[in-house]
Amino acid sequence: MISDTIAAISTPLGEGGIAMIRISGPDAVSIVDTIFYAKQKCSEMKTHTVQYGFIKESDTGLKVDEVLVTVMLAPRSFTKENVVEISCHGGLIAVKKTLELLLQNGARLAEPGEFTKRAFLNGRIDLTQAEAVIDLIRSKSDRAYSVAMKQVEGTLSDKIVNLRNLIIELMAHIEVNIDYPEHDVEELTYAFISDKCNQAIQIIDELLKNANQGKILREGIVTAIIGRPNVGKSSLLNLLARENKAIVTDIPGTTRDVIEEYVTVGGVPLKLLDTAGLRETSDVVEKIGVERSKESLKEAELVLFVVNQNEPIHVDEMKLFQEIKNKQVILVLNKTDLPSKIDLNQLKNQFNEEQIVQMSIKNEQGQSELEKVIANMFFDGRIESTDSSYVSNVRHIHLLNKAKRSLEEALKGTYDIPIDMLQIDIRNAWEDLGEVIGDSVSESLIDQIFSQFCLGK
């Protein structure tokens, strides 16, 4: 049983107007009451109501901030515990001071993710929903956001629960057969088992089909923009960054402190590599453009290879063509506003027609073509509308694959393997699926998952 009360600032720290402190645990109300001064004490407030008042230092009477306090009593709160939220107005220093007072009066500073962890441990949400909260915080595009939102709402959980029910039914059926073998219904049972296993596998396949897309929406396609100096790489970057407002991720307190640059193209987030190099316009940097290109190539999942079609293909470019052979490449033939000096037919020996996009980046022409090509490469041409519940999390993908393998194993034995042996594989599948929603996970895994959160969530 959780017995202590935690507190943290749950809005990003910054210059913003309002900051919120969240307190959760059995003593949330009484701790806030030690520093809250208003018409009513928190302990007198009705649940789910708000009250205006002041935070004061109780010994000196010094006024710290003007606040709104919301009380949400257990179990009708995010953590299923008593929760008090204090909205502070007085800026950073007042917020910190208020938090400090709460800590002095018996609250403990929450660890990253601890509120969500409590919601999970208290049965308010399952593990997929908790993980989706992380995704929500980090989502880089509207579409990734709505995918995560679906998961928070429990769409994926529902599917997994249904799948597990199907398997439980199968297990029960086998159990009966093991307990009452004299009925000799083995034939029938084999048919039943293979039928149910096939059904379950089909559902898993359906979930996994979208998994790669889900992962892309969640994490972005790692993309390198490469090419010789002056072909238009920086212009392309600027165009993409201007036209497609990506949600920039700069989350203080997360394990990833590097600020990454994202743009979205047709709703697909691209995680751009080496944008610092591209933003640099000094000659020195541009001269080492090709070397730099090779460097960022290593990591890239998608290569946007920019070529100036107003010049013949350069020997450096021929060399780069070789280096990117095993990558997903889009050849951007830029500067179509100028006369063409390249041999398109010769290029078609190196690239498929579908990989080539003609653009005049300066005139902002060709973006929609680029979008289409990217959609084709990564989404078979169609980016699903927002109502789909993607499996996007590698942990989930791994477990689904594992469950599928167990079911296939069981399926293989539905001719000659004793039925109680099949039960082992089927039970394994059931347990793996349970792990997806957090039904049977180890404490260390839970710790690992929740440690990815930022403070105050």
Q: Which does 229 bind (CB under 5 to 8 A by kind): ligand GDP, Zn ion, none?
A: ligand GDP
- Nearer residue to ligand GDP within complex by CB, 97 or 335: 335
Answer yes or no whether residue 230 interacts with ligand GDP by CB under 6 A.
Answer: yes
Answer yes or no whether residue 293 interacts with Zn ion by CB under 5 A.
Answer: no
Applying CB under 5 A, what is the total number of residues that bind Zn ion? Answer: 2
Least distance (Å) from Zn ion to the CB of residue 231?
9
Least distance (Å) from ligand GDP to the CB of residue 246?
19
Answer yes or no whether residue 457 interacts with ligand GDP by CB under 6 A.
Answer: no
Q: For residue 50, how far is the Cα from the chain centroid?
A: 33
Q: How does DSSP classify residue 242?
A: H
Residues 39 and 110: their CA atoms lie apart, in Å, by 29
Using CB under 6 A as the criterion, what x/- string covers residues 321-340 for binding ligand GDP? Answer: -------------xx-xx--
H or E element in which residue 84 lies? strand 83-88
Q: Which does 55 bind (CB under 5 to 8 A by kind): ligand GDP, Zn ion, none?
A: none
DSSP string, 281-341: -SHHHHHTHHHHHHHHHTT-SEEEEEEETTSPPPHHHHHHHHHTTTSEEEEEEE-TTS---
Segment lying near ligand GDP (by CB under 6 A), choices 8-16, 45-53, 360-368, 424-432: 360-368
254 is in an annotated binding site: yes
85 is in an annotated binding site: yes
234 is in an annotated binding site: yes
Task: Among 25, 113, 227, 277, indicate the residue that binds ligand GDP (CB under 6 A).
Answer: 227
- Nearer residue to ligand GDP within complex by CB, 286 or 311: 286
Task: Among 5, 189, 234, 293, indicate the residue that binds Zn ion (CB under 5 A).
Answer: 234
DSSP string, 42-75: GGGSPTTEEEEEEEE-TTT--EEEEEEEEEE-TT
Single-letter code of the amino acid located at 23? I
Answer yes or no whether residue 409 interacts with ligand GDP by CB under 6 A.
Answer: no
Single out the residue of 205, 178, 215 nearest to residue 193, CA to CA. Answer: 178
457 is in an annotated binding site: yes
What would the two tokens of residue 35 be? 């520093």
- Nearer residue to ligand GDP within complex by CB, 123 or 339: 339
Single out the residue of 41, 143, 126 nearest to residue 386, CA to CA. Answer: 143
Single-letter code of the amino acid located at 235? S
H-state helical runs in 105-210: 114-121, 127-138, 142-153, 155-179, 186-209
7 is in an annotated binding site: no
Task: Among 35, 231, 246, 300, indicate the residue that binds ligand GDP (CB under 6 A).
Answer: 231
- Nearer residue to ligand GDP within complex by CB, 280 or 323: 280
Let me know: does 393 contact 400? Beta carbons within 8 Å.
no
Least distance (Å) from ligand GDP to the CB of residue 304?
11
277 is in an annotated binding site: yes
Task: Give the count of beta carbons closer than 10 Å to the beta carbon of residue 408.
Answer: 15
Least distance (Å) from ligand GDP to the CB of residue 375?
23
Residues 408 and 203: their CA atoms lie apart, in Å, by 13
* The residue count for the chain: 457
Q: Which does 407 bind (CB under 5 to 8 A by kind): Zn ion, ligand GDP, none?
A: none
Query: Nearest-5° angle of CA 86, CA 89, CA 95?
Result: 60
Residues at the contact surface with Zn ion, assessed by CB under 5 A: 233-234
Q: Which residues are annotated as a binding site for K(+)?
A: 230, 249, 251, 254
Footprint of ligand GDP on this chain (CB under 6 A)? 227, 229-235, 286, 334-335, 337-338, 360-362
For the annotated binding site for Mg(2+), the residues are 234, 255
